């Protein structure tokens, strides 16, 4: 076991993938000499060369579009989009091209492309640097969408995503980049939890709290606080946003009878809405209360002096737990 | 000197002209005049045997015949839509025949002539326009990528593919290159400009083949550019050349040279094939709403097929029997396209759920199962 930050765990995972497969490439803005603005690719260009760790021109559609071409030639590109709000210039290439190549080619052409996106708020940033755009991609068939929440998962999930033959949108919780945890860098990927599986992080019997990415830590802390009030929350780290591991979710909700979904993204047509609909349909007779959502408001992301009000925190999740019990 | 339909003044040989838009000097490579007269150009020597010229003529006639049949099939309700290549046969056949088997071509949705050169069965093209699939051929079998409908998106794919060629160490002697097709309208797209930048700074082995057919649906070239399109290349740092897009010899020679340069490591070239979309944008379009019949009539005099025929007659390389044989073959190809189209079955409804992901997806499997059960709930005669 080694103690690593989430950023360093990703770095180690990328290094493992670059070592394991000469077709793996890293491309993006400032990923080379600088090592990325969050240092996730630190030192990789030095060790693997400019041909495999590519500083690209400053254009996101170009990054994804050329990654598609490289994949057509047999490569496995890992693209870095510098910040969540900068993925939109690449939206067409992701949604209309990357996601659809397998179907368009009747299954002949795979698109093993990973798009890494630092996401979410909480770092006091200017506009476009705190977004949670996951729902756009979850809504797009053909994409896999995952979110890591801590160093250990970051290390394995990035390798699993690179090995995946489908395009993977890989969300990294930027305010958790410096969180530290033990990571077993000697364990085989074969023994890791499959990429499309959710994980029960805290067991409990009274209510199910579903989170992913940056909100996972918030919800684990909420469970500790709720435990002091005598309520046992079961916290699920969704990990895979598309496909959803509904088996894990519904088994938990059937046990607890209450379900609260937490994410930073605005609640309107967000992932919580999808989960609420599915849980309601599949667990209708087990529910003691409606499925509740805790998320960002249905507004543009506010200036950073206001973000603590916009972002769900321990108290807002606890408030939702109270409402679920009061129903 | 003569005045062109587009108002440009042209001069032979290797024709230079003054462009109406910016008043700058425009050079257009031409090796075969509309009258079928052979020209020489110092930068683009081209030796073709009589059989090679006859082969090009056959390509031009057959792809036009495929196109004509497809339009008829659309009019009869057998295709949902068709994007005609009428008028652009020389640009497509000339460039298509300049490719080596290991080169990779990235088309738009109108490159039926290039598809023909790459050995794609025309029926496979019809699949897309009939609504049976989004692209029925195997890109790896033909080194011809699937049609891309979003304008200009494929320029980045070709550039990335070319970067892959570099990483495979296949630039240089015995190298490979990519070619990407797009139109005059596409040059306004961000993706195309980004592809120019990527190709330039990475010196990627890719040739940008722009068929300037003068019209982006209803919008004339003037709405896309104040300068001749090929001149844009200089701003990106690589060569640009305008070729008479209705001259199959010139398109062949210019594309050959650009592809060879790319394969050898000299980087990208922008080729502007100056041509004309003789038909509608697609079968849903009505060009009489936005352009004058006189313009079309003027371009008919520069027909890409007729000038090769005139050359073959003028040089005595082909006799009447040859032309009759080609016409008969074209009739056969047309019949084959029609029969193949009519014989094409609709896909099974369950095909909707196939090829979305590389591995089983539980949510999709559940939807599939539910839909299958729903279909099965009908009596057999109701089901379809």
CATH 3.40.50.970 describes domain A2-191: yes
Whether A73 contacts chain B with CB within 8 A: yes
Written as one string, the DSSP assignment of A164-212 is: -SS-EEEEEEGGGTT-EEEE-TTS-GGGSPPTT--EEEE--SSEEEEE-
Distance separating alpha carbons of residues B48 and A288, to the nearest angstrom: 83
**Does ipTM surpass 0.85 in this model?**
yes
Tell me: the pLDDT tens digits for B217-268?
999 999 999 999 999 999 999 999 999 999 999 999 999 999 999 999 999 9
Q: Are B99 and B105 in contact (CB under 8 A)?
A: yes
Tell me: the pLDDT tens digits for A118-155?
999 999 999 999 999 999 999 999 999 999 999 999 99
Average pLDDT, chain B: 93
Closest in A106, A164, A244 to B355, CB measured: A106
Q: Do B191 and A62 touch (CB under 8 A)?
A: yes
Residues of chain A neighbouring B163 (CB-CB closer than 8 A): 66, 69-70, 73
Distance separating alpha carbons of residues A81 and A119, to the nearest angstrom: 10
Question: When comparing pLDDT for A225 and B25, which is higher?
Answer: A225
DSSP annotation of B170 reads -
Closest in A25, A62, A102 to B197, CB measured: A62
Closest chain B C-alpha to A256 CA, distance in angstroms:
23
Closest chain A C-alpha to B194 CA, distance in angstroms:
6
Q: What are the Cα distances from residue A279, in Å, to A186, A220, B169, B310, B343?
A: 37, 21, 53, 73, 46
Mean pLDDT of B127-137: 95
DSSP annotation of B240 reads E
Residue B2 has pLDDT above 50, yes or no: no
Residue B353 has pLDDT above 60, yes or no: yes
Q: What are the Cα distances from residue A84, in Å, to A29, A37, A121, A313, B209?
A: 13, 13, 10, 21, 34
Q: Which of residues 269-298 of A touch B (CB under 8 A)?
A: none
Residue B1 has pLDDT above 80, yes or no: no
Composition of chain B by helix, strand, coil, percent to 5 = 45, 10, 40
Reading the block at residue B167, the tokens are 């990483």
Q: Are B54 and B317 in contact (CB under 8 A)?
A: yes
DSSP-H helix ranges across chain B: 50-75, 89-96, 112-117, 122-130, 139-142, 153-167, 190-201, 232-236, 248-264, 293-300, 304-315, 320-342, 362-376
Closest in A61, A75, A104 to B135, CB measured: A104
- Domain A2-191 and domain A199-326 have a common topology: yes
Q: Which of residues 131-170 of A touch B (CB under 8 A)?
A: 141-142, 144, 164-166
Q: Kindly list the averaged pLDDT for each block of 10 residues, start to end, along chain A of length 327.
A: 97 98 98 98 98 98 98 98 98 98 96 98 97 98 98 98 98 98 93 97 98 98 97 98 98 98 98 98 98 97 97 98 96
Q: Do B150 and A92 touch (CB under 8 A)?
A: yes
Q: What is the pTM of this model?
A: 0.95
Distance separating alpha carbons of residues A88 and B47, to the nearest angstrom: 50
Strands B206-212 and A76-80: unpaired
Provide the CB-side half-sphere exposure for A55 (13 A, CA).
Answer: 15
Per-residue pLDDT band for B19 (boundaries 50, 70, 90) equals: very low
Residue B8 has pLDDT above 50, yes or no: no
Closest chain A C-alpha to B195 CA, distance in angstroms:
7
**Helical pair B153-167 and B190-201, crossing angle rounded to 10 deg:** 20
Distance separating alpha carbons of residues A9 and A5, to the nearest angstrom: 6
**For position B346, what pLDDT does the model report?**
94
Whether A108 contacts chain B with CB within 8 A: yes
Reading the block at residue A243, the tokens are 């496909």
Element (H, E) at A20: helix A6-20
Tell me: the pLDDT tens digits for B315-327?
999 999 999 999 9
Q: Are B271 and B241 in contact (CB under 8 A)?
A: yes
Q: Do B160 and A66 touch (CB under 8 A)?
A: yes
Residue B7 has pLDDT above 80, yes or no: no
Distance separating alpha carbons of residues B203 and B256, to the nearest angstrom: 18
- Mutation for A interface: B127, B157, B190, most A CBs within 10 A: B157
Q: Calculate the CA dihedral of residues A22, B160, A112, B144 and round it to 10 degrees.
A: -110
Closest residue in B to A49 (Cα) is: B167
Q: Which residues contact A22 (CB under 8 A, 6 or more apart)?
A: A52
Has A129 been annotated as catalytic? yes
Has B65 been annotated as catalytic? no
**For position B172, what pLDDT does the model report?**
96
**For position B381, what pLDDT does the model report?**
67
Q: Are B80 and B130 in contact (CB under 8 A)?
A: yes
**For position B3, what pLDDT does the model report?**
38
Q: What are the Cα distances from residue A280, in Å, to A284, A287, B38, B50?
A: 5, 8, 76, 75
DSSP annotation of A94 reads I
- Mutation for A interface: B128, B155, B163, most A CBs within 10 A: B163
Q: Do A73 and B161 touch (CB under 8 A)?
A: yes
Question: When comparing pLDDT for A301 and B4, which is higher?
Answer: A301
Domain boundaries, chain A: 2-191, 199-326
Distance separating alpha carbons of residues A246 and A279, to the nearest angstrom: 8
Per-residue pLDDT band for B174 (boundaries 50, 70, 90) equals: very high
**For position B380, what pLDDT does the model report?**
75
**B215 phi, psi to nearest 5 deg:** -135, 130
Distance separating alpha carbons of residues A49 and A37, to the nearest angstrom: 19
Round to the nearest angstrom and report the end-to-end CA distance of chain A.
45
Q: Are B317 and B308 in contact (CB under 8 A)?
A: no
Give me the CATH topology for the region B2-342.
Answer: Rossmann fold (3.40.50)
Whether A88 contacts chain B with CB within 8 A: no
Q: Do B355 and A97 touch (CB under 8 A)?
A: no
**For position A120, what pLDDT does the model report?**
98
Has B307 been annotated as catalytic? no
CATH number of A199-326: 3.40.50.920
* Gyration radius (Cα) of chain A, Å: 19
* Residue B350: strand, helix, or coil: helix
């Amino acid at each position: 076991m080694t103690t690593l930050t989430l950023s360093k765990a990703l770095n180690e995972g990328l290094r493992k993938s670059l070592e394991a497969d000469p077709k793996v490439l890293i491309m993006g803005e400032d990923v080379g000499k600088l090592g990325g603005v969050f240092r996730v690719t630190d030192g990789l260009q030095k060790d693997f060369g400019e041909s495999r760790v590519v500083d690209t021109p400053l254009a996101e559609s170009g990054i994804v579009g050329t990654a598609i071409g490289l994949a057509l030639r047999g490569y496995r590109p890992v693209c870095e989009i510098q910040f969540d709000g900068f993925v939109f210039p690449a939206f067409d290439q992701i949604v209309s091209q990357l996601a659809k190549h397998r179907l368009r080619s009747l299954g002949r052409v795979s698109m093993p492309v990973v798009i890494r996106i630092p996401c979410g708020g909480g770092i006091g940033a200017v506009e476009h640097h705190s977004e949670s755009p996951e729902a756009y991609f979850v809504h797009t068939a053909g994409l896999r969408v995952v979110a890591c929440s801590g160093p250990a998962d970051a290390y394995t999930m990035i390798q699993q995503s690179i090995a995946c033959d489908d395009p993977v949108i890989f969300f990294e919780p930027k305010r958790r980049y410096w969180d530290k945890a033990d990571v077993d860098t000697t364990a085989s990927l074969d023994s890791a939890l499959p990429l499309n599986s959710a994980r029960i992080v805290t067991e409990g019997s009274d209510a199910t709290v579903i989170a992913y990415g940056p909100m996972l830590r918030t919800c684990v802390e909420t469970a500790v606080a709720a435990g002091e009030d005598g309520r046992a929350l079961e916290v699920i780290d969704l990990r895979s946003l598309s496909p959803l591991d509904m088996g894990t979710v519904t088994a938990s909700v059937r046990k607890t009878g209450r379900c609260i979904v937490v994410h930073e993204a605005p609640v309107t047509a967000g992932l919580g809405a999808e989960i609420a609909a599915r849980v309601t349909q599949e667990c209708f007779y087990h529910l003691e209360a409606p499925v509740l959502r805790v998320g960002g408001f249905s507004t543009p992301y506010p200036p950073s002096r206001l973000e603590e009000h916009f972002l769900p925190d321990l108290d807002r999740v606890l408030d939702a737990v109270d409402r679920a019990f009061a129903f | 000197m003569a005045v062109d339909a587009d108002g440009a003044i042209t001069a032979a040989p290797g024709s230079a002209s003054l462009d109406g838009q910016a008043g700058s000097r425009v050079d257009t490579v031409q090796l075969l005049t509309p009258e079928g007269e052979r020209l020489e150009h110092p930068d683009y020597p081209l030796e073709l045997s009589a059989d090679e010229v006859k082969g090009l003529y056959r390509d031009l006639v057959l792809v036009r015949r495929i196109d004509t049949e497809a339009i008829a099939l659309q009019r009869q309700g057998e295709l949902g839509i068709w994007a005609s290549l009428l008028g652009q046969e020389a640009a497509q056949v000339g460039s298509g025949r300049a490719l080596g088997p290991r080169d990779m071509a990235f088309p738009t949705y109108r490159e039926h002539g290039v598809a023909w050169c790459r050995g794609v069965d025309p029926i496979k093209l019809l699949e897309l326009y009939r609504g049976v699939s989004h692209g029925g051929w195997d890109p790896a079998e033909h080194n011809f990528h699937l049609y891309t409908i979003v304008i200009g998106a494929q320029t980045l794919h070709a550039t990335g593919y070319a970067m892959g060629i570099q990483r495979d160490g296949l630039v240089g002697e015995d190298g490979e290159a990519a070619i990407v097709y797009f139109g005059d309208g596409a040059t306004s797209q961000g993706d195309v400009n980004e592809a120019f930048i990527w190709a330039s700074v990475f010196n990627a082995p890719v040739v940008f083949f722009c068929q300037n057919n003068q019209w982006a649906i209803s919008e004339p070239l003037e709405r896309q550019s104040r300068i001749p399109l090929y001149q844009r290349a200089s701003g990106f740092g690589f060569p640009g050349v305008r070729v008479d897009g209705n001259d199959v010899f010139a398109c062949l020679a210019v594309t050959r040279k650009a592809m060879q340069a790319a394969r050898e490591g000299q980087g990208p070239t922008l080729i502007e094939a100056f041509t004309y979309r003789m038909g509608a944008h697609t079968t849903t379009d009505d060009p009489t709403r936005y352009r004058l019949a006189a313009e079309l009539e003027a371009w008919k005099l520069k027909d890409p097929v007729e000038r090769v025929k005139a050359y073959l007659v003028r040089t005595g390389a082909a006799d009447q029997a040859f032309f009759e044989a080609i016409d008969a073959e074209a009739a056969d190809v047309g019949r084959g396209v029609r029969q193949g189209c009519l014989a094409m079955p609709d896909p099974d409804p369950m095909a909707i759920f196939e090829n979305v992901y590389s591995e089983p997806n539980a949510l999709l499997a559940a939807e599939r199962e539910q839909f299958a059960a729903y279909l099965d709930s009908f009596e057999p005669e109701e089901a379809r």
